[in-house]
Structure 1
Amino acid sequence: MEQIRKNQLTKKDTQKRLMKRLSAPHPAALILTLSVLALGVLMVLSVSIGVSDIGWRTIIDSLFAFDETNTSHVILRDLRIPRILAASLVGAFLAVSGVIMQALTLNPLASPSIMGVTSGSAFMIAIAFAFYPESTYFQLIFWSFAGAALGAGMVFTIGSFSKRGLTPVKLALAGAAVSALLQSLSTIIALHFNVARDISFWFAGGVAGVRMESVRLVSIIALGGLLAAFALSRSLTIMGLGEEMAKGLGIRIGWIKFISTLIVLILTGAAVSIAGTVGYIGLIIPHITKKVMGMDYRWVIPSSAVFGAGLLVIADIAARTINQPYETPVGALTAMIGVPFFLVLARKEGRG
């Protein structure tokens, strides 16, 4: 008994020393604090931008002295504020999902959009519209979760047939093939059952027209996923050094992978149910965050949430201003950034 206790103490001491060594050598707390402040500024700025010019005085009045007869107040309360909150939540959810996927698979090309997760969610939403048109928004969320699981399962099943194992590029190719298949099936279903108009929003990607009720419902579900991701950050840091070392340090690999997979499905499903198939945030943000914050996931995960939220808020501002009074799909803007980023990473991994 005494020997077991000594071994446990040794493992804990080793973990502490390891985490201390992996901690970022720069003031990570300061960077994260400044990032949160910058996100707050972006969100406030986003409130004032749109087809209708609304001054700061009107914004303050709508928050503290709402007048339902004032058109500007109604626009702010019912359209812009829910939209900004949705953009920040979706960006955070997708970024953290990407971080966890890359940590679990040790694959720098992993992300919800590339691994078929977002396409799976959109596919199941298309099925819901075609066969269960009376589905409530709450039911659509669970359809989205089921689709996320379907997409991820298909990618890993196809990738497992590879003779030389799941290399990053092979897994990404399997994800691209599954995503294309599910998107094609979604289009066929939409056209055959005449629901293309209903699901076009999920295909284009964006946060226009999001209601506060939807934001509240999804945030209650998915914020639990974010908190769980923060709780697992220490274990994910150690797993990043390899499974053998993690096992030697007492990390329960199977349990961590199971919980982490559930978190990815919840966060991605929630994001798709709000904003549709917004891609590449889960690919871009983890790499940027790790460059800035180091490899300690206790800093990487919360920082990714903030950076992802900021990126999608910026993309949403651009979507409203590039071609006024019309809207540009947010998914198209993130793809313009993400596709070159993905090609550079794929070329680098292919050489490796």
Structure 2
Amino acid sequence: MTSTVPQPVASTPAQLPQLRRGSVRGLVVLAVLLVLAGLVSLAVGSRPISLGTVIDVLFHPDGSDASTIVHDLRIPRTVLALAVGISLGIAGALMQGHTRNPLADPGLLGVEAGAAFAVVIGISVFDVQDLTGYAWFSLVGAGLAAAAVFAIGSTRGGPDPISLVLAGTAVSALLMALTQAVIIRDVKALDEYRFWAVGSVSGRGMDVFWDVLPFIVVGLILAAMSASSLNLLQLGDDVASSLGLSPMRHKVIGVLGVMLLTGAATAACGPIGFVGLVVPHVARHFAGVDYRWVIPYSGFIGGLLVVGADVIGRVVVRPGELQVGIVMALVGGPVFIYLVRRTRMVRI
């Protein structure tokens, strides 16, 4: 009786895990979709404008009603929706990567709660009444809250993923309680705060965009610096260190990127939930697990999602409109429940 020794089976490319499925072609497709969504955003509203007219007045403003609507009203909100979507999408990818938690959201750093508390203080104490003032108070509050969470959740080895989540939850709860205490005692602050906190890109001018743009640009640079290191950090700090990476330095860079991107987006439009939570999962579905692709995919998909939500909000209750924050809650809520039900995804 002869025995046969099993021979190793050669793995074909189809059998190997695809760690890098993203492509420049995919980014080009998303960019084209973004341009189309932007044109639709310029055309749709309480007064519909044909795409032909939009394109004509976009390059040849003539002072007509259509030209005024496109340039003075719809371009600022479309540009802002795009910037906010890109910022929140990339911030979500960074946050989930650095915490190794697929249910992590940029709001876990206390950014949104800090921004809300600062805006309420600005309204109640300093009598701030314009959106530009809200933006600056929001940026300061977001930065201070995120710095506090970063300090509490860090050890000698740098930011600890679990400690950051716990610290962010605690700081957010404290700041939201303080916010409620202020607005309960100040009716004017409550009225103004409700306008900002609903999360909207309408009514904002290009001045708000220019105010937050420097913070977004720096945040995007930090995100680009974090992309390749995130792949190694997924293997654990010890393995990353053995491969010559400084986990603490790269975690600091990533968390600062999250702070700047989320703070700027919240300052510009108020808190818009679920973008940073949902978008990275969609990006990983198309781009795989390589963060060099996940981060740019998340930016494009985030921009597309927020612009699309803004357009939907103008259509469903015409001639009125739903704010982006409300539309995102209606869409993101069921998606969040779906992610939570998939319990195998919540392991850190």
Which secondary structure state, in structure 1, belongs to the residue aligned with residue 120 of structure 2? helix
C-alpha separation in 1, matches of 2:283 and 2:325: 21
**Equivalent of 1:291, from 285, 293, 296?**
285
Q: Which moved more, 1:225-234 or 1:25-34?
A: 25-34
Check the 8 A contact 1:119/1:179 in 2, yes or no.
Answer: yes
**Structure 1 residues without counterparts, runs of 5 or longer:** 1-20, 161-165
Length-normalised TM-score, structure 2 = 0.83
2:313 paired with 1:319: yes
Q: Identify the residue that residue 29 of structure 1 maps to in structure 2.
A: 24
Which secondary structure state, in structure 1, belongs to the residue aligned with residue 106 of structure 2? coil
Distance 1:349 1:215, change over 3 A: same
2:60 paired with 1:73: no
Distance 1:273 1:253, change over 3 A: same
C-alpha separation in 1, matches of 2:329 and 2:166: 17
Distance 1:135 1:259, change over 3 A: farther
2:57 paired with 1:62: yes
Letter in 2 for 1:79: L
Letter in 1 for 2:207: E
**Structure 2 residues without counterparts, runs of 5 or longer:** 1-15, 155-159
Letter in 2 for 1:67: D
Q: Identify the residue that residue 103 of structure 1 maps to in structure 2.
A: 97
Check the 8 A contact 2:222/2:256 in 1, yes or no.
Answer: no
Of all paired residues, the percent bearing the same amino acid is 35
Q: Identify the residue that residue 47 of structure 2 maps to in structure 1.
A: 52
2:249 paired with 1:255: yes
Check the 8 A contact 1:204/1:332 in 2, yes or no.
Answer: yes
Distance 1:175 1:349, change over 3 A: farther
Q: Deviations over 1:284-319 (max 9, x none)?
A: 011111121011111111110000000001110111
2:221 paired with 1:240: no
2:322 paired with 1:328: yes
CA drift at 1:181: 4.6
Letter in 1 for 2:34: L
2:201 paired with 1:207: yes
Distance 1:220 1:199, change over 3 A: same
Within a 5 Å distance, the mapping from 1:119-138 to structure 2 comes to: 119-134=113-128
Distance 1:171 1:349, change over 3 A: farther
**Equivalent of 2:332, from 316, 338, 351?**
338
Q: CA RMSD in A?
A: 2.9
C-alpha separation in 2, matches of 1:235 and 1:62: 45
Q: Identify the residue that residue 41 of structure 1 maps to in structure 2.
A: 36
Q: Which moved more, 1:235-244 or 1:329-338?
A: 329-338
Q: Deviations over 1:104-138 (max 9, x none)?
A: 11111111235532222122121122222258866
Check the 8 A contact 2:98/2:161 in 1, yes or no.
Answer: no
2:213 paired with 1:219: yes
Distance 1:248 1:223, change over 3 A: same
Task: Kindly tell me the number of residue pairs found equivalent between the two proteins.
Answer: 325
Which secondary structure state, in structure 2, belongs to the residue aligned with residue 51 of structure 1? coil
Check the 8 A contact 2:200/2:325 in 1, yes or no.
Answer: yes
**Equivalent of 2:264, from 261, 270, 279?**
270
2:81 paired with 1:87: yes
Check the 8 A contact 1:113/1:280 in 2, yes or no.
Answer: no
**Equivalent of 2:225, from 225, 231, 248?**
231
Letter in 2 for 1:220: P
**Equivalent of 1:183, from 164, 176, 189?**
176
CA drift at 1:155: 5.8
C-alpha separation in 1, matches of 2:346 and 2:22: 34
Check the 8 A contact 1:23/1:296 in 2, yes or no.
Answer: no
Distance 1:138 1:79, change over 3 A: closer
C-alpha separation in 2, matches of 1:292 and 1:39: 16
2:197 paired with 1:198: no
Distance 1:177 1:190, change over 3 A: same
Q: Which moved more, 1:102-111 or 1:303-312?
A: 102-111
CA drift at 1:345: 3.1
Q: Identify the residue that residue 299 of structure 2 maps to in structure 1.
A: 305
C-alpha separation in 2, matches of 1:202 and 1:114: 20
C-alpha separation in 1, matches of 2:166 and 2:105: 12
Check the 8 A contact 2:92/2:104 in 1, yes or no.
Answer: yes
C-alpha separation in 1, matches of 2:277 and 2:171: 17
Check the 8 A contact 1:126/1:190 in 2, yes or no.
Answer: yes
